[in-house]
Amino acid sequence: MSLSSESNAVDARPLPASSGEGRRLAVDRFFEALVRFSGSDLHLKVGRPPLVRVRGSLQALKHPPIDAAEMRRLLEPLLDDRLRGIFQKYGGADFSHVCEVEGVPTRFRVNLLTQQGAMGLVARRISTSIPDFSGLHLPPVMQSLCEFDQGMVLLAGVTGSGKSTTIASMLNWINRNYRKHILTLEDPIEFIFTEDKCLINQREVGQDVFDFSHGIKQAVREDPDIMLVGEMRDEETFLAGMQAAETGHLVFGTIHAAGAPAAITRILELFPASKHPSLRSGIALNMKAIVAQKLLPSIKPGVQRVPAVEILIFNSVARKLVREEEDEKLNDLIRMSSREGMQDFTTSLKGLVDADLIDRDTALEVAPNREALQMALRGISVAQPGTL
């Protein structure tokens, strides 16, 4: 079964019922279609046919538009009593869902939402295997970010930029190389780790622990060496993560921001201005690196998407700039510090084009500095500032 050449529609006729012992839901046929067409995301909205994202583009399934009554019949069975209460109170719920596709259990991260009074769904397929750095086409410096004993490493990017996959690859590298205790706090759990050298405990917010901040506070009694805190979405969660970093843990987390320096601004926006001086001191003291990603469609056969990566490593200059509120100079620092493993999006995009992983048009479309990338692709070095 293949994508239609005459329209954006793809066939969503249901597969035979799964042979596993788990309960098969009517909505599972759409999850199966997503997997069958190697898609990344499923969208269900009242009044529209189901949509799947394939190689970065939304395409409609060959299915009639779903009305409100059918949507409720499809989606309500996904909710247990706890999730139903969350959905009714907040108008949305996040959870994981597993269904079998041709006998293979496949995991999805699901967001159930309400829009204009109707139920809807957005789900992301979670890979059953955790790729290594080379498989993700990540810079070699990513390994060194796994070797810190304590501090904080943040992955920045918009939704769908591959932050969770990158962190999973980092934690799995640690799992293969160190004898440590990894504790994750996730909402929901995405990748399921297989223990190698590490002891790994994965806690799901809402099921295993009340919320992120409670989970981090409890973690100090659970003897972790490394912690994964899902999204840094509010003041309390970030402070709890920072406190864990201060007390000798290596903390990984994610944040919604367009770039590495922009992540500093995003963190500050979580707090009132009166707290910014002490917050800057805490960031300068504890932050080890911020990695920002953009996930792009690939032109290389067998590779669907690759990340453009910006890396800010907190050396003495970066700490000084953050502490003294000179964030506007961080971009210059990144460009001047390639020997330390730093790189900006221009360097990353040029590398992806040179490696025939993405085309020039894609690179120029997403480049924060289009002119700088055009010059780099022509082999013209951008003049570096003399000092910071």
Read off the pLDDT of residues 193-239 as tens digits, 9 standing for 90 and up.
999 999 999 998 888 988 877 888 888 789 999 999 888 888 988 98
Average pLDDT, integer, range 106-117 = 93
Q: Would residue 90 count as lying in a domain?
A: yes
Q: Is there a single domain that holds both residue 121 and residue 207?
A: no
Residue 136, pLDDT above cutoff 50: yes
Question: Is residue 297 scored above 50 in pLDDT?
Answer: yes
- Predicted pLDDT at 358: 97
Q: Is residue 195 located within the same domain as residue 76?
A: no
Query: CA–CA separation, 305 vs 24, rounded Å?
Result: 30
233 and 314 together in one domain: yes
97 occurs within a structural domain: yes
Among residues of the chain, what percentage have pLDDT more than 70?
92
Q: Is the sign of the CA dihedral 81, 83, 85, 88 positive or negative?
A: negative
pLDDT for the residue numbered 304: 87
Q: Report the SS3 class of residue 152.
A: strand
Q: Find out whether 18 and 105 touch, Cβ atoms under 8 Å.
A: no
CATH number assigned to the domain comprising residue 325: 3.40.50.300
234 located within any domain? yes
Q: What is the pLDDT of residues 70-79, one digit of tens each?
A: 999 999 999 9
The pLDDT value recorded for residue 6 is: 32
Report the CATH number that the domain containing residue 46 is assigned in CATH. Answer: 3.30.450.90
User: 84 and 216 share a domain?
Assistant: no
Number of domains in the chain: 2
Average predicted confidence (pLDDT) for the chain: 89
User: Residue 4 pLDDT > 90, yes or no?
Assistant: no
Are 191 and 224 found together in one domain? yes
Give the model's pLDDT for residue 15. 35
Query: Do 31 and 180 belong to one domain?
Result: no
Tens digit of pLDDT for each residue in 13-51? 433 333 333 568 999 999 999 999 989 999 999 999 999
Domain-terminating residue out of 126, 160, 189: 126
Q: Tell me, what DSSP letter sits at residue 66?
A: P
Q: Which domain holds residue 112?
A: 10-126
pLDDT of the residue at 129: 82
Structure confidence at residue 103 (pLDDT): 82
103 vs 385 pLDDT, higher one: 103
Distances (CA, A) of 310 to 52, 133, 142, 281, 341: 28, 15, 11, 23, 10
H-only helix segments in the chain: 28-36, 68-75, 81-90, 133-136, 163-177, 212-219, 235-246, 260-269, 276-286, 316-323, 330-336, 345-354, 360-366, 370-377
Question: Both 204 and 98 in a single domain?
Answer: no
Is residue 188, in this structure, part of any structural domain at all? yes
SS (H, E, C) 301-345: CCCCEEEEEEEEECCHHHHHHHHCCCHHHHHHHHHHCHHHCCECH
Domain check: are 147 and 233 in the same one? Answer: yes
> CA torsion, points 38, 41, 45, 49, in degrees to nearest 10?
-10
